[in-house]
């Protein structure tokens, strides 16, 4: 995906830090951007060699271990909460509303943690092997 954002643009946007070398992540971000008719999210590809993880006080390994975002007030969020806020901003918040429920939230969080660790292998099943060499997920 060719969508890049700097941390200084669109100060009201949710800035999502995603792994552009992950085919599943790339497809999910493309879906969100297509739905983003009011320009409420910005996408930052952390696999881009020009990206500096220190700009959000994280290491590359921390950012690669799970999805992160920067809210307009400067708070760094991660995991399922990123998707909740992103989907809400593009008018699809109802799809993830159940993941806030006390019984479902820990299950959704646990599933996402498992998925984030295995996303490259899962992506390979559906989209083929990684060819860039930068698709390695830190343990």
CA-closest candidate to residue 120, choices 109, 112, 129, 131:
129
Q: What are phi and psi of 69, to 5 degrees?
A: -150, 160
Higher pLDDT, residue 5 or 83: 83
Higher pLDDT, residue 126 or 97: 97
**pLDDT tens digits, residue range 24-83?**
888 899 999 999 999 999 999 999 999 999 988 999 899 999 999 999 999 999 999 999
Domain assignment present for residue 119? The answer is yes
pLDDT of residue 10: 58
Most confident by average pLDDT, 8-17, 93-102, 113-122: 93-102
pLDDT of residue 129: 58
When the pLDDT of each residue in the chain is averaged and rounded to a whole number, the result is 85
pLDDT of residue 50: 93
Burial class (CB in 10 A: 0-12, 13-18, 19+), 53: middle
Domain assignment present for residue 78? The answer is yes
Q: What is the band of 131 on the pLDDT scale with cuts at 50, 70, 90?
A: low
Domain assignment present for residue 35? The answer is yes
pLDDT of residue 12: 84
Domain assignment present for residue 80? The answer is yes
Domain assignment present for residue 121? The answer is yes
Looking only at the bridges linking them, the beta strands covering 76-78 and 68-70 are antiparallel
Domain assignment present for residue 6? The answer is no
In terms of residue numbers, what domain contains 81? 14-127
Domains identified in the chain, total number: 1
How many CA atoms within 13 Å lie on the side-chain side of 72? 9
pLDDT value at 139 more than 60? no
Domain assignment present for residue 21? The answer is yes
15 near 7, Cβ under 8 Å?
yes
Q: What is d(CA 46, CA 129) in angstroms, rounded to the nearest whole number?
A: 19
How many CA atoms within 13 Å lie on the side-chain side of 80? 20
pTM: 0.81
Q: What is the band of 2 on the pLDDT scale with cuts at 50, 70, 90?
A: very low
Burial class (CB in 10 A: 0-12, 13-18, 19+), 82: buried
Q: What is d(CA 16, CA 83) in angstroms, rounded to the nearest whole number?
A: 9
Domain assignment present for residue 105? The answer is yes
């Amino acid at each position: 995906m060719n969508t890049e954002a700097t941390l200084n643009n669109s100060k009201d946007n949710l800035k999502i830090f995603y792994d552009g070398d992950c085919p599943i992540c790339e497809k999910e971000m493309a879906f969100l951007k297509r739905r983003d008719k009011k320009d409420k999210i910005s996408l930052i590809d952390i696999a881009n060699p020009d990206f500096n993880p220190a700009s959000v006080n994280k290491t590359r390994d921390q950012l690669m271990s799970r999805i992160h975002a920067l809210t307009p007030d400067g708070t760094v969020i991660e995991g399922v909460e990123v998707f909740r806020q992103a989907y809400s901003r593009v008018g699809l918040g109802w799809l993830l509303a159940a993941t806030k429920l006390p019984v479902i939230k820990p299950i959704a969080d646990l599933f996402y943690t498992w998925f984030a660790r295995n996303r490259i292998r899962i992506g390979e099943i559906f989209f083929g092997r990684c060819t860039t060499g930068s698709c390695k997920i830190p343990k």
